[in-house]
A and B are shown apart, each in its own frame.
Chain A
């Protein structure tokens, strides 16, 4: 169980002044549950993820995993304790192959396992395994490899930051299935930062972050039910009858449906 109590994070702005980006965050995230974090742009969602992973040190409050304080732990130590983060903007690595990257993540070079990870994110393993993680990849391809690096690890807490960004509609379905399976087969706490309806529908609870604070903890039906759909019978996707990702926006929550 991951607990954040009165967590504050501040960073320096361009003038060297401290700016509070997270204020009095209180969250209890239980094992084997999916939490979707949503809210308007700039509200503090990614900052929350970075505070959990250790990229942003907390300036007040505490972050504990199964009762053990994380605040004084490095990124590496938190990773060893079972905290993982799929970055919003995946990094390119010159000279590093997908095989090497996933081997680091999985802690093994077992080819069958590495292949399975790529298949899980909708990539042809044979085509991708020995490609370099450089400019040859599209953003969507890189995003899927980033997600695979998290699936590779046995985690207590897995944080995915806008996993749908750059992913095509058809692979998106695969992605949601992967999250469901991860939830069903592991005891992992899954945290997904997202604005998308189909991701929200995966949630046990939806956490709305706005202005650097938790403004609401609710369920997906409540948020989605409050949104008046502009075009519920959208025809944009030829392969499924699911609504378009772009057909409506809930201004309050910044949720797209």
Chain B
């Protein structure tokens, strides 16, 4: 990682918790080009030949290994990448993605990532995707990830999606298809401020008997920022699904939450909950009565909510 600038290192720390060369496989992409890569006996990373991006192939039976695939942009540009992940049968792997943008220019800096995952029978994948933006330039920082996940029989996908300030516009489109006895857990955390805008569309198709999904989205919208959540879950068979979308709205922000559940079979049990509201005054008063100032109390509540 010696070829990385201080800015690059900071971006990597924010999006992938990388302070040094990661253990296991990794592929670091900087300003539209591959910067550094490592494969292991069980995880191969191959550059696509027909379009920008990589194929990540995790061998069947691989246990407790990780892949880091951060993208960093430290100049104004628009980057588009297609990544495909093949998770072999009974493998258990953690994938840490994410994009960090430092934009000190007046030009737009954007990254559009299309990630496709194929989880084979009995596999488990934890996928962590963080968005981070910084820089004093007037150019916008834009991220538009598309994530498509096919969760095979008896497989489990756990997805964490985080975006805390820093990104001017983000449209996140996530589509998950679950087969027999497949399981999905999605945790989304979002904080927007100033005039930032974020749109998150999550579509879950429960296709196989015994499949289950839980999608929990928590967000905070501050200042003039805008957020839209469209969480759509469709049960095609005997299955269970739960959508929860909670938002704290502050200042002059706007939040729209559109939970949608569709039962296409009498065995489908689907629940949705959505709540938008300001910080409860009782919470503020309790913490203030313990000696915190109003702003400290607010910060404590928001940190807990977005944890």
Q: Measuring CB to CB, which residues of chain A are less than 8 angstroms from any residue of chain B? A: 53, 55, 74-76, 78-80, 84-85, 87, 89-91, 93-96, 100, 104-105, 107, 149, 153
Q: Is B287 an interface residue (CB 8 A)?
A: yes
Residue of B whose beta carbon sits closest to that of A93: B304
Cβ contacts A to B, 23 pairs, < 8 Å: A74-B288, A75-B288, A76-B291, A76-B293, A78-B289, A79-B288, A84-B289, A87-B282, A87-B289, A93-B283, A93-B301, A93-B304, A94-B246, A94-B304, A95-B304, A95-B305, A95-B306, A95-B307, A105-B290, A107-B291, A149-B290, A153-B290, A153-B291
A76-B294, A93-B283, A100-B304 known; 4 new pairs, CB 8 Å cut-off, are A75-B285, A84-B290, A91-B282, A94-B246
Q: Which A residues are CB-close (under 8 A) to B264?
A: none
CB closest residue in chain B, given A81: B291
Structural contact, B304 and A75, CB atoms closer than 8 A: no
B292 at the interface (CB under 8 A from A): yes
A11 CB → nearest B CB, Å = 14
A-B pairs, 9 with minimum CB distance: A95-B304, A96-B304, A95-B307, A75-B288, A79-B291, A91-B282, A105-B290, A76-B288, A91-B286
Task: List the B side residues contacting A79 at CB < 8 Å.
Answer: 288-291
**B300 contacts chain A at the CB level, 8 A cutoff:** yes
Distance between A170 CB and nearest chain B CB, rounded to angstroms: 27
Chain A residues within an 8 Å CB radius of B301: 93, 96
Residues from chain B with a CB closer than 8 A to the CB of A80 are: 291
| Residue B3 interfacial (CB < 8 Å) | no
Q: Within the complex, what minimum Cβ distance (angstroms) separates B294 from chain A?
A: 7
B303 interface residue per 8 A CB criterion? yes
Task: Quote the shortest CB–CB distance from B146 to chain A (angstroms).
Answer: 29
Task: Name the residue on A nearest B189 (C-beta).
Answer: A95
Contact indicator A76/B246 (Cβ below 8 Å):
no
Contacts of B307 in A (CB 8 A): 95
> B204-227, CB under 8 A of A: which get 1 and which 0?
000000000000001000000000
Measured between beta carbons, the chain A residues less than 8 angstroms from B306 are 95
What A residues does B280 contact at CB under 8 A? 91
- Residues of chain B lying within 8 A (CB to CB) of residue A85: 289
Q: How many residues belonging to B are interface residues under a CB distance threshold of 8 Å? A: 22
A154 to B292, CA, bound (A): 15
Q: How far is the CA of A104 from the CA of B282 in the complex (A)?
A: 16
Q: Whole-angstrom distance between the alpha carbons of A84 and B303 in the complex?
A: 24
| Complex alpha-carbon distance, A105 and B286, angstroms | 10
- Chain A residues whose CB sits within 8 angstroms of the CB of B287 once the complex forms: 104
Q: Tell me which residues across on chain B come within 8 A of A53, comparing CB atoms.
A: 289
Q: What 0/1 readout, one digit per residue, does chain B (256-299) give for beta carbons within 8 Å of chain A?
A: 00000000000000000000000010110111111111100000
| A94 with B288, Cβ < 8 A, contacts A76-B293, A87-B282 known | no
Q: How far is the CA of A94 from the CA of B306 in the complex (A)?
A: 9
- Pick the contact of A76 from B283, B292, B304, B305 — CB < 8 Å? B292
* Bound Cα distance from A65 to B84, whole angstroms: 67
A75 and B289 form a contact (CB under 8 A): yes
**Interchain CA distance A87-B283 in the complex, whole Å:** 11
Determine the distance from Cα of A85 to Cα of B307 in the docked complex, in whole angstroms: 27
A104-B290, A149-B290 given; A95·B303 CB < 8 A: yes
With a cutoff of 8 Å between Cβ atoms, the chain A residues found around residue B285 in the complex are: 55, 75
Most chain-A Cβ atoms within 10 A of its Cβ — which of B282, B287, B290, B300? B290
A157 to B: closest C-beta gap in Å: 12
Residues of B within 8 A of A76 (CB): 288, 291-294
Nearest chain B CB to A159 CB, angstrom units: 10
Q: In the complex, A47→B147 CA distance in Å?
A: 53
> Closest CB-CB distance, B217 to chain A, in whole Å?
13
Chain B residue nearest to A97 (CB atoms) is B304
**Nearest A residue (CB) for B294:** A76
| Cα(A55)–Cα(B301), bound, Å | 19
Chain B positions within 8 Å of A95 at CB level: 303-307
Is B304 a contact partner of A104 (Cβ separation < 8 A)? no
Chain A nearest CB, measured from B214 CB (Å)? 15
What string of 1s and 0s marks CB contacts (under 8 Å) between B69-89 and chain A? 000000000000000000000
User: Which A residues lie within 8 Å of B303 (CB)?
Assistant: 95
- Chain B residues with CB under 8 Å of A74's CB are 288
Q: How far is the CA of A105 from the CA of B292 in the complex (A)?
A: 9
Contacts of B286 in A (CB 8 A): 87, 90-91
Closest to A83 in B: B289
Residue from A78, A90, A105, A153 having most chain B Cβ neighbours under 10 A: A105
A93 to chain B: which residues have CB within 8 Å? 283, 301, 304
Which single residue of chain B is at the shortest CB-CB distance from A103? Answer: B290
Residues in A neighbouring B288, C-beta threshold 8 A: 74-76, 79
For the complex, give the distance between the alpha carbons of A89 and B286 in Å.
11
| Pair B305/A94 contact, Cβ less than 8 Å | yes
- CA A137 to CA B19, docked complex, whole Å: 38
Do residues A104 and B292 form an inter-chain contact, with CB atoms below 8 A? yes
Known A76-B294, A91-B282, A91-B283: A96·B300 in contact at CB below 8 Å? yes
Chain A residues with CB below 8 A from B294, complex form: 76
Q: Which residues of A contact B218 (CB under 8 A)?
A: 94
